[in-house]
């Protein structure tokens, strides 16, 4: 025999395989993008949550007549005496004006309009008591507003929870579609290979031997499609992220992929490939068991 490797019993490169490969690649691509969006979103929301958890903002409003400066100093003294505050950062007048610029456009506010003084606090949630501090400040006659971002944090966590549910539902839908596609494709190949299956049956091949031929075929097809789809999704994501990050300044969203993301994506490829193989095997077995003897 000149050929050291025997010809596969199921002929490779059949016409039905190209569209099948394309569809499975697209499913893997979409599933990988969804998974990446989930991972990036999860990380971003976590980091926002952490920022919000450890930050609070105190605004001090000027009482007419008093100098801003003295109230600010009084407030700082009180804050320094309060437990649970790890750092106190007075926002300069200039910076305060810059912060509201996005809301009023590129106008410079007249300098005689009083801006509330802003103090950023880093807090330790475990020890910090927002209402106690508010009480103290009020007792000292300061008009203040303390925002510990609890509402924000809660809103963010609700919103993210819903987005994540939507993303995971999409991912599930894609996995179910992959199962449906693999099973449809197996049926089609089974039909077009009916003669081969009959011959194998006649020479005494077991059901499992026949099923294994299909499992192997769809496993390699499924893995190739899944890896291709995932790699395309990563390339797509990297280009998108470079583009997104290039278009933002420091205050904007900086997103990036991590090694752990790649591991998750590879896991997704393995799952999709495995699902194709498993579906092919189950379908083959159930079909040949129902085949009439003729």
Which residues contact other proteins by CB under 8 A? 1-3, 6-7, 9, 11, 195-196, 198-207, 209, 289, 292-294
Distance (Å, rounded) from C-alpha 180 to C-alpha 72? 66
Tokens matching residue 75 = 């407030």
Q: Which is nearer to other proteins, 250 or 294 (CB)?
A: 294
Task: Give least dist CB 223 to other proteins, A.
Answer: 23
Q: Which is nearer to other proteins, 206 or 245 (CB)?
A: 206
Q: Which is nearer to other proteins, 6 or 110 (CB)?
A: 6
Task: Give least dist CB 6 to other proteins, A.
Answer: 6
Task: Give least dist CB 232 to other proteins, A.
Answer: 32
Q: Which is nearer to other proteins, 5 or 162 (CB)?
A: 5
Distance (Å, rounded) from C-alpha 268 to C-alpha 226? 8
Q: Which is nearer to other proteins, 6 or 126 (CB)?
A: 6
Q: Print the SS3 string covering the chain.
A: CCCCCCCCCCCCCCCCHHHHHHHHHHHHHHHHHHHHHHHHHHHHHHHHHHHHHCEEEEEEECCCCCCHHHHHHHHHHHHHHCCCEEEEEEECHHHHHHHHHHHHCCCCCCCCCCCCEEEEEEECCCCCCHHHHHHHHHHCCCEEEEECCHHHHHHHHHHHHHHHHHHHHHHHHHHHHHHHHHHHHHHHHHHHCHHHHHHHHHCCCCHHHHHHHHHHHHHHHHHHHHHHHHHHHHHHHHHHHHHHHHCCCCCCCCCCCCHHHHHHHHHHHHHHHHHHHHHHHHHHHHHHHHCCCC
Q: What distances in angstroms separate CA 14 from CA 11, 25, 146, 212, one per listed residue?
A: 7, 17, 69, 18
Helix axes 207-246, 150-192, angle to 10 degrees: 140
Q: Which is nearer to other proteins, 162 or 293 (CB)?
A: 293
Q: Which is nearer to other proteins, 34 or 284 (CB)?
A: 284
Q: Which is nearer to other proteins, 74 or 282 (CB)?
A: 282
Task: Give least dist CB 1 to other proteins, A.
Answer: 6
Task: Give least dist CB 289 to other proteins, A.
Answer: 7
Task: Give least dist CB 40 to other proteins, A.
Answer: 47
Task: Give least dist CB 293 to other proteins, A.
Answer: 5
Task: Give least dist CB 202 to other proteins, A.
Answer: 6
């Amino acid at each position: 025999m000149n050929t050291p490797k025997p010809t596969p019993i199921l002929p490779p490169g059949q016409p039905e395989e190209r569209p099948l490969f394309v569809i499975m690649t697209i499913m893997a691509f979409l599933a990988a993008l969804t998974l990446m969006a989930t991972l990036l979103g999860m990380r971003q929301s976590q980091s926002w949550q952490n920022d919000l958890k450890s930050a609070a903002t105190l605004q001090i409003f000027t009482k007419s007549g008093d100098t801003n400066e003295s109230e600010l100093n009084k407030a700082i003294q009180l804050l320094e005496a309060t437990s649970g505050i790890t750092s106190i950062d007075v926002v300069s007048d200039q910076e305060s004006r810059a912060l509201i610029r996005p809301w009023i456009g590129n106008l410079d506010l007249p300098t005689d309009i009083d801006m509330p003084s802003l103090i950023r606090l880093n807090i330790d949630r475990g020890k910090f008591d927002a209402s106690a501090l508010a009480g103290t400040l009020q007792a000292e006659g300061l008009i203040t507003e303390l925002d510990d971002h609890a509402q924000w944090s809660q809103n963010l966590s609700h919103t993210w929870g819903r987005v994540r549910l939507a993303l995971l539902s999409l991912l599930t839908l894609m996995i179910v579609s992959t199962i449906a596609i693999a099973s449809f494709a197996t049926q089609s190949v089974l039909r077009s290979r009916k003669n081969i299956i009959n011959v194998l049956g006649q020479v005494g091949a077991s059901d499992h031997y026949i099923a294994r031929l299909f499992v192997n075929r769809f496993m390699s097809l499924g893995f190739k499609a899944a890896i291709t789809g995932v790699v395309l999704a990563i390339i797509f994501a990297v280009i998108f992220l470079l583009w997104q990050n290039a278009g933002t300044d420091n205050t904007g969203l900086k997103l990036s992929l991590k090694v752990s993301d790649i591991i998750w994506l590879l896991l997704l490829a393995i799952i999709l490939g495995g699902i194709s193989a498993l579906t092919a095997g189950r379908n083959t077995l159930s079909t040949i068991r129902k085949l009439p003897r003729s």
